[in-house]
Structure 1
Amino acid sequence: MHFQIPEHYMAYLALSISIIGLLILKFASDSIAPGISKIDLIDTNSIGRNVRICGNISNIHRFDKGSLLITVNDGSGEIDVYVPYSIAKIIDNKIFSSREIDVIGEVNIYNGRLEIVVRNLNSIRLKNDNTGLEPK
């Protein structure tokens, strides 16, 4: 006895499996963090890539509209980390005082300088703390 699946069912099955696979990739890629990069090794070849840095905060600037620019130094160099308002509005400056942080973000160039742009709150963590930054 031979069972044959109609062709239109096969198309639906293939589409369903493809969508499920894409969703799995999306969620898996969000949970995979890049390895830690030394700041002095981040250059124009890194633009558009996600990087992870750990270092001390040497400066914080809060813009009038609420976003933050944090300067991070890891001993090999310094780089600015831009935190958009949507994330910055729940971060308190006191948390950053003389703290080591772990940042994941995309390398961009702004006004001729390299910077890392943070995309979500979980991409900024206090060193040795897996909970992310505490909200205000």
Structure 2
Amino acid sequence: MAYLALSISIIGLLILKFASDSIAPGISKIDLIDTNSIGRNVRICGNISNIHRFDKGSLLITVNDGSGEIDVYVPYSIAKIIDNKIFSSREIDVVGEVNIYNGRLEIIVRNLNSIRLKNDNTGLEPK
């Protein structure tokens, strides 16, 4: 009986883990993201106003939703997959963890499913 209870508990925890990874938070306005948001997952939608490609391939995308701007850091493992698409897109939908880097708030994308590009073929060139 104890083994059954333990097995069910472990299965339940695994289900919660996978479900929490796939549940996106509601859309946040960028001007409402502050230091109290550090460590939390947020979702933003907005226009790409700048793209910076680092030497090692990661990206820093500046997103503006009309209420403010925030940087979105995309590590190389994800950037290499979206690289060809990012420069033909103006709009982006991002889920990521709020962090602070060099005194500025940023959102860190943790997996490929957390970034969606809305293609309009106008494109930006990396700086």
Measured on the aligned residues, the alpha-carbon RMSD in Å equals 4.3
Question: 3-state SS of the aligned residue for 1:48?
Answer: coil
Q: Distance in 2 between matches of 1:27 and 1:133?
A: 35
Tell me if structure 2 keeps the 8 A contact 1:69–1:82. Answer: yes
Question: 3-state SS of the aligned residue for 1:99?
Answer: strand
* Higher RCO (CA < 8 A, seq sep 6+): 2
Going from structure 1 to structure 2, the CA distance change for 1:132 and 1:117 (only over 3 Å counts) comes to farther
Tell me if structure 2 keeps the 8 A contact 1:91–1:135. Answer: no
Unpaired segments ≥5 residues, structure 1:
1-9
In percent, how many aligned pairs have the same letter?
A: 98
Q: CA deviation at 1:23?
A: 0.9
Residue 77 of structure 1, aligned match among 65, 68, 79: 68
> Under a length normalisation based on structure 2, what TM-score does the superposition of the two structures give?
0.89
Going from structure 1 to structure 2, the CA distance change for 1:113 and 1:135 (only over 3 Å counts) comes to closer
Q: CA deviation at 1:16?
A: 0.2
Tell me if structure 1 keeps the 8 A contact 2:29–2:65. Answer: yes
Going from structure 1 to structure 2, the CA distance change for 1:104 and 1:44 (only over 3 Å counts) comes to same
Which deviates more from structure 2 when the two are superposed, residues 33-42 or residues 89-98?
89-98
Q: Distance in 2 between matches of 1:123 and 1:80?
A: 15
Q: CA deviation at 1:126?
A: 2.2
Which deviates more from structure 2 when the two are superposed, residues 82-91 or residues 69-78?
82-91
User: What aligned pairs does 1:15-34 form with structure 2 within 5 A after superposition?
Assistant: 15-34=6-25
Residue 63 of structure 1, aligned match among 50, 54, 57: 54
Tell me if structure 2 keeps the 8 A contact 1:107–1:116. Answer: yes
Tell me if structure 2 keeps the 8 A contact 1:54–1:127. Answer: no
Which deviates more from structure 2 when the two are superposed, residues 89-98 or residues 118-127?
89-98
Q: Distance in 1 between matches of 2:122 and 2:74?
A: 18
Q: Greater share of strand residues, 1 or 2? A: 2
Question: 3-state SS of the aligned residue for 2:92?
Answer: strand
Tell me if structure 2 keeps the 8 A contact 1:124–1:132. Answer: no
Residue 37 of structure 1, aligned match among 28, 33, 48: 28
